[in-house]
Structure 1
Amino acid sequence: MAVLKVIEILSSSSVSWEDATKKAVSKASNTLKNIRSVYVQEQSAAVVDDEVTEFRVNLKITFELD
């Protein structure tokens, strides 16, 4: 029987929400093994002088415990 754990993390990117998500999974994989899925819970963006300057995501990452 598999036992899964879910953690919540935040990530940002100056490129896109997709890039922020990929960066989060890449960084999390440095310390977590067996990542099974990622759920984008929330998206937001920072705006400066009428331009989007940063894309932000709030993620839930699910991984299997050994």
Structure 2
Amino acid sequence: MSILKVIEVLANSNESWENATEKAVAQAAKSVNNIKSVYINEQSATVKDGKIDEYRVNVKITFEVK
């Protein structure tokens, strides 16, 4: 039986929600091993001059504890 743990991470990007998610996983991978999945819990964006300025995600990252 595997033991899985979930952490919540916030990240942002000037490019896209996908890029923000990739940044969140990359940053978490620096200190967490055995990442198994990512769940996008919430997406939002800031707007400046009528255009999206920054994409933001709140993700849940699941990893296996050994």
TM band (smaller chain): over 0.9
- 1:2-13 aligned at under 5 Å gives the runs 2-13=2-13
Tell me the distance in 2 between the aligned counterparts of 1:9 and 1:18: 14
Structure 1 counterpart SS, 2:2:
coil
Tell me the distance in 1 between the aligned counterparts of 2:28 and 2:7: 10
- 1:53-64 aligned at under 5 Å gives the runs 53-64=53-64
Q: CA RMSD in A?
A: 0.5
- 1:21-36 aligned at under 5 Å gives the runs 21-36=21-36
What residue in structure 2 maps to residue 16 of structure 1?
16
Structure 2 counterpart SS, 1:63:
strand
Structure 1 counterpart SS, 2:22:
helix
Give the TM-score, by structure 2 length: 0.98
- Unaligned runs of at least 5 residues, structure 1: none
Tell me the distance in 2 between the aligned counterparts of 1:58 and 1:20: 9
- Unaligned runs of at least 5 residues, structure 2: none
Give the TM-score, by structure 1 length: 0.98
Quick one: which amino acid aligns to residue 23 of structure 2?
K
Identity of aligned residues (%): 56
Aligned residues: 66
Deviation at 1:49, TM superposition (A): 1.0
